[in-house]
Amino acid sequence: MDYTNCWLEYKKISDKNKSDIALLCEIEGPIIKNGIKELTTGFHSLYGRYLNIVNNEELYQEAKASIHIKLDTSLSLSPDGYRLECVSGKSIIMATSEIGLLYGVYALLRNLNIQKIVDYDNWSFTEEKEPANPHRMLNHWDNMDGSIERGYSGNSFFFKNNEILLNERTKEYARMVASVGINGVVINNVNVKNAATELISFRYYEKLRTMSELFASFGIKLYLSVNFAAPIELGGLDTSDPCDDKVITWWEDKSKEVFENIPKLGGFLVKADSEGRPGPFTYGRTHADGANMLAHGVKPYGGLIIWRCFVYNCQQDWRDTKTDRARAGYDNFMPIDGAFSDNVILQIKNGPMDFQVREPISPLFGGLKKTNMMLEVQIAQEYTGQQRHVCYLIPWFKEILNFNTHCSPKHGTVADIVSGRTYHNTSCGIATVVNTGNDINWTGHDLAAANLYGFGRLSFDTELTSNEIGKEWIVQTFGHNEKVEENILRILMMSWPTYEKYTSPLGIGWMVKPNHHYGPDVDGYEYDRWGTYHKADNKGVGVNRTESGTGYCSQYNEPLASMYANRETCPEELLLFFHHVEYGYVLSSGKTIIQHIYDTHFEGAKEAEMFYQMWDELHGLMDEATFDRGKKRFTHQKEHAKEWCDVINSYFYRKTGINDKYGRPLY
């Protein structure tokens, strides 16, 4: 096999107990079949024990150790919730649906594994869980030629040479992401071009149907990104105007055809009027017109339209200080709050810019009140080290989810909104741009798998802490070893703050090399058309987004608007996002801005060196290939962190002429 099992390795815990475990399961189905297979694999790997599948209650009762998979529609659990009861080696997995049971299976194995239960036969344990978010989705930006946009772990395992791949790896993928609760997958890039436009045609239906059924056997719905201009490019019409009858009919017919051929499809994801993609603006229509027209087509089949809010002017004049890209999402979508059909979900990036290491939360979350919302994050690390630097993003996602938008007195957090608690809806949830490819370890950096694992776990159970998730992932991936746990957990938990320290300071973002977005280039986007500026001059740095500037602050509910607008109350990690501040301004630490920049950068680079050391200490405590892969990445990270540190510090040193208080080298 040319790929690893990641956290589903089930490293041996004990082989003391050799007796079979009786398994009673009274229902049948493709999902349950996968559940039983998982239990079989898990128990054999963890304990060297076999499952003895029994059909009558008696044999089951006699067994010393057993598992009972039990559908119970009387439970007050959502369909994908589960209840796990284990008393002295006799477990019952209960749920109201097959998928709930599968989740229970994964939960049982996970708990045995992370709690390091040596003696299953004497284990007692109870757990009841319902997923926190209705939709828990992965967005793959895979192109049909096999490349992946912003992919840092090899090529696509879904596509190659404009063909769909369907093989053992497809199944392993589904199993892996199902194990952490993922229930929706968009397999193709949101930038839908060329052959990808034809995914909704007979050229690909057969394979897509097979894939959707495979996914469904793990409780996952398949989604497709579609091209808003498909009526023209695929249908030969002369327009894609969402209010044109021909176009409406075309999408009605097309949706019928698609769902007839792929009945288990979840729906479509759409990037429209964004970075050169076609959309309703071309025809003077609103995004509601566009989304609702598509939603109308898929509605008879229970389909969803997930509509991205990443709409901004990417042809901005850098001299123009009035236009503010940060404002664009809110300015575009707030006026049409309430205008969307109920099977439309707006997918909103966590911040108003684009997956920077630090951004404020998108004001759309606190703004929209009558529209389905999904949070979009990105574990592909486009701007956070591209899976060559370790950057464990779960702490960042926790902050995002816990952010109180003040849209509601009781349920005001982003987590409340996307879970459905705030507005009592079910078309909502969390999506991530995912970080997988056909590399042997799936994610390029072995530690980047913690983000995949963590995203899934967090989207299922928002209450988990980053620390808990990190620990879970480490022991399932590397087995139980104190030193390994300690060092890797420390690396993970430090990694996001460390990355933030040695890159762009205080929330301003974007000091990266253009296009590929890797490595420092302070002015790389400063005089360009993308709306991404830092405005550094010899006196100060940052963008004035208060009322005297672009006015972006006022897109937030109070007290946030006032908090951000005042530089004394603005959270310091976002100070330069909201304010243009002179270098001598003193932060709460007592440091000036310039000294803060110097200090954090030197610190961050030093921490990256520590990561290398901490990893190096693990030599011999994991298999050699994994260790070597990690060592290469950490070697690069420490060198590249120093490069970041020196470039950013030297840039500001040259601009200000202000020396470092401690006389460290600036160039």
Question: What are the residues binding a second copy (CB under 8 A)?
Answer: 318-319, 513-514, 520-524, 527, 536-539, 646-647, 650-651, 653-657, 665, 667
CB 215 within 8 A of CB 177: no
Q: Among candidates 255, 260, 267, which has minimal Cα distance to 230?
A: 255
| Among 354, 359, 416, 446, the one annotated catalytic | 354
Nearer to a second copy, 343 or 656 (CB): 656
Q: What share of the chain is helix, strand, coil (3-state, %, to 5)?
A: 40, 15, 45
- Partners of 447 in the beta sheet? none
The CB-of-651 to a second copy minimum distance in angstroms stands at: 7
What is the pairing mode between strands 159-160 and 163-164?
antiparallel
Q: What are the distances in angstroms from CA 318 to CA 360, 437, 515, 553, 580?
A: 22, 36, 17, 20, 16
Per-residue tokens: 651: 């840039």
Nearer to a second copy by Cβ, of 70 and 638: the residue is 638
Nearer to a second copy, 284 or 657 (CB): 657
Residue 166 near residue 448 (C-beta atoms within 8 A): no
In angstroms, what is the minimal distance from the CB of 653 to a second copy?
Answer: 8
| Choice among 26, 57, 275, 463 that is catalytic | 275
| Least distance to a second copy, CB of residue 524, Å | 7
Sequence letter at residue 105 = V
Identity of the residue, 202 or 527, whose beta carbon is nearer to a second copy in the bound complex: 527
Tell me, yes or no, if 320 is annotated catalytic: no
- Told to judge if 439 belongs to the known catalytic residues of this protein, a careful annotator would answer no
Name the residue nearer to a second copy (CB basis): 193 or 539: 539
Q: Which of 232, 164, 146 is nearest to 203 (CA)?
A: 164
Distance CA 473, CA 294 (A): 39
Furthest-apart CA atoms within the chain: distance in Å: 84
Between CA 31 and CA 98 the distance in angstroms is 6
CB contact at 8 A, 325 and 274 = no
Residue 315 CB, shortest distance to a second copy, in Å, is: 13
CA 337 – CA 414 distance, rounded (Å): 17
Contact residues for 313 (Cβ-Cβ < 8 A; gap 6+)? 323, 325, 328, 531
- Nearest distance in Å: CB 240, a second copy: 29
Specify the residue for token string 């229930």. Answer: 183
Identify the bridge partners of residue 413 per DSSP, sorted by sequence position. Answer: 404
CB of 320 to a second copy, least distance (A): 9
The distance of closest approach from Cβ of residue 156 to a second copy in the complex, given in angstroms and rounded to an integer, is 24
- Nearest distance from C-beta of residue 277 to a second copy, angstroms: 24
Minimum distance, C-beta of residue 119 to a second copy, in the bound complex (Å): 58
For 436, residues 6+ apart whose C-beta sits below 8 A from its C-beta are: 140, 153, 157, 173, 442, 443, 452
Q: Which is nearer to a second copy, 263 or 514 (CB)?
A: 514
In the complex with a second copy, the residue whose CB is nearer, 145 or 163, is 145
Place of tokens 């830092």: 534
Query: Which residue's entry shows tokens 């339209």?
Result: 305
Dihedrals phi, psi of 106, to nearest 5 degrees: -60, -40
Nearer to a second copy by C-beta: 616 or 639? 639
The tokens for 388 are: 């060559």
Six-digit token string for 200: 């909704």
Nearer to a second copy, 254 or 580 (CB): 580
Closer by beta carbon to a second copy, 310 or else 525: 525
Work out how close the CB of 352 gets to a second copy at its nearest, in angstroms, rounded to a whole number.
23
Identity of the residue, 302 or 514, whose beta carbon is nearer to a second copy in the bound complex: 514
Catalytic residue among 80, 376, 382, 500: 382
Tokens of 181: 């609760």
For residue 355, how far is the Cα from the chain centroid?
11
Q: 651-659: which pairs have CB atoms within 8 A and are 24 or more residues apart?
A: 651/522, 651/523, 651/536, 652/536, 652/541, 652/583, 652/594, 652/597, 652/598, 653/598, 655/536, 655/537, 655/538, 656/538, 656/583, 656/594, 657/538, 658/583, 658/594
Residue 58 annotated as catalytic: no
Gap between the Cα atoms of 265 and 268, Å rounded: 9
606: which 2 tokens? 């030093």
Give the residue numbers annotated as catalytic, written as ranges: 275, 354, 382
